[in-house]
Amino acid sequence: MASSLNVVVFLLCFIVSVAAYPGGKLIHAPPKQVYTGIKRIPGKNNPYKAPGPHDLRGPCPGLNTLANHGYIPRNGIATFEEIVNAVGEGFNMEYTLASALTAFGMLARGNAYTNQISIGGPTGKIPPLPGNIDGNSTKGLATHGRFEGDVSMTRRDFAVGDNVHLDPALFSQFLDYVAKYGNDSDVTGPKSVVSYKAMQEFKYARYLDSIAEDPVLVYHFGRFILSYGEASFTLNFFANGTDGVLSTSTLKSIFQNQRFPLNWHRRGTPGDINLIGDGVENVLSAHEDAVPGINANGTFIPDPLPTTGCALYQDLGVNNVPAVLVNTTGILKKNVDFLLKSIHNLFAPQCNFTLPAGESGV
Ligand code: HEM
Ligand SMILES: *[C@@H]1O[C@H](CO)[C@@H](O)[C@H](O)[C@H]1NC(C)=O
Ligand SMILES: *[C@@H]1O[C@H](CO)[C@@H](O)[C@H](O)[C@H]1NC(C)=O
Ligand SMILES: *[C@@H]1O[C@H](CO)[C@@H](O)[C@H](O)[C@H]1NC(C)=O
Ligand SMILES: *[C@@H]1O[C@H](CO)[C@@H](O)[C@H](O)[C@H]1NC(C)=O
Ligand SMILES: *[C@@H]1O[C@H](CO)[C@@H](O)[C@H](O)[C@H]1NC(C)=O
Ligand SMILES: *[C@@H]1O[C@H](CO)[C@@H](O)[C@H](O)[C@H]1NC(C)=O
């Protein structure tokens, strides 16, 4: 009698503890793409459809475009697996890079328990983490801090204006730099191709603008490298895979309409961290006085130079992932471990695995 009561009590406790946090979903590493060559995108099953009023879109032109073609769910809420598959299929982003970037997004701005991330802002369709350990809501990629940051190409700094949507004036400034420093094309005409030179000068202008107009600019090493990484993404992932050319008409299609251009092809080899890193170095090389730091008390204060080759890992994977995530159990703990490993894989074997140390609820 006593023992069967114990069993009933145990079962009730078990049911209550599971029911309190329904929806846990174990994340599985998706299979790698089998074919990683050139391909015409979009395929016939992925037509463009403008987002509906409840569909979420955010600061990333790559993810917005993939959502508008149904490579990730059109509502803008995706799993880890869906994003890794989509950036591989649509842009041929290499698997380790895609996994690390998506894992960082999920840990920093998604719900690692339900395996959901909003490519835009917060939504009632994604609950907070169990026990609200990282605040009352799951915030989404559009939320400033951790991932979204200052000195974007086409979005304003958070303290200055709209940090999520394309700013037409910034985009037209981008086009002006191409008109001045772009490459020529027999097909689309003189100075119609986005060149490294155009990107070097445009990124430098954006940097000087932010220093001048954003009194609370935050541009630490992780965001600094990510922002130049996004410049490199633009040149390497948005270019037409057939000829490697990024024309202004393709640039407009992806940035303004968030739509793949007609007759566009993804790149012919997977774009990995080395390719993106080379692009970052190239864009940075023209203006080496552009350095990480913050604006405070009316002046730009440069950060001390990083002393190890692991500063990017440290800043993103450690400082911008909440420490409380490792203090968990069950499905959440398993997912967190998987995601932390996915970030570290990009930096292994040079950098030692380090547990997250970021704040919660920010
Ligand atoms: C091949 C795939 C991808 C491409 C081509 C791409 C491209 C870009 C570009 C060009 C920007 C900069 C926009 C600007 O500065 O105006 C950007 C921003 C951003 N991307 Fe992506 N992206 C890709 C994948 C991802 C993934 C997997 C995530 C996360 C899960 C992500 C999250 C973001 C976020 C949060 C921003 C805003 C950063 C900021 O400017 O403040 N992106 N992306
Ligand atoms: C959590 O939600 C409560 C009630 O809506 C609110 O008063 C509180 O400020 C929130 N806390 C955080 C950290 O957002
Ligand atoms: C543009 O032209 C320059 C000079 O010929 C060349 O070095 C560069 O690779 C070309 N393409 C891009 C994307 O800059
Ligand atoms: C991509 O290149 C191919 C071959 O040069 C060309 O036929 C096609 O129109 C190009 N597409 C775009 C969007 O530039
Ligand atoms: C800005 O000035 C305040 C007040 O003098 C000081 O406490 C603070 O440390 C300064 N911030 C930086 C980053 O120097
Ligand atoms: C993890 O939990 C332990 C025990 O409750 C606590 O002492 C520790 O501070 C927690 N660590 C973090 C990072 O929350
Ligand atoms: C990694 O850890 C080993 C052993 O503790 C240490 O000798 C090495 O310096 C560490 N490497 C880095 C890049 O921190």
Determine the atom of ligand 6 nearest the C-alpha atom of 323: 13
| pLDDT at residue 20, as a whole number | 64
pTM, 2 dp: 0.94
Check if the beta carbon of residue 46 is closer than 8 Å to that of residue 71: yes
pLDDT given at position 21: 83
User: Residue 28's CB: how many other CB atoms inside 10 A?
Assistant: 12
Question: Region 41-53: what's the mean pLDDT?
Answer: 98
**Under 8 Å CB-to-CB from 254, ≥6 apart: which residues?**
61, 62, 65, 238, 260, 261
Angle between helices 273-285 and 196-213 (to 10 degrees): 70
Tens of pLDDT, residues 129-172: 999 999 999 999 999 999 999 999 999 999 999 999 999 999 99
What would the pLDDT profile of 93-116 be if each residue is shown by its tens digit?
Answer: 999 999 999 999 999 999 999 999
Query: Does ligand 5 come within 6 angstroms of the Cβ of 296?
Result: yes
**For the stretch 306-340, what's the b/e string if a residue is b when 16 or more beta carbons lie within 10 angstroms of its beta carbon?**
eeeebbbbbbbbbbbbbebbeebeebbeebbebbb
Mean pLDDT confidence for 11-22: 54
pLDDT > 70: percent of the chain = 94
State whether the beta carbon of 308 lies less than 6 angstroms from ligand 7. yes
Query: Is 195 touching ligand 3 by the criterion CB < 6 Å?
Result: yes
Share of the chain above pLDDT 90, in %: 93
Least confident of 5-19, 120-134, 141-155, 196-210: 5-19
Average pLDDT in the 250-268 region?
Answer: 98
Tokens representing 59? 């600061």
Supply the residue whose CA is at minimum distance from atom 6 of ligand 7: 352
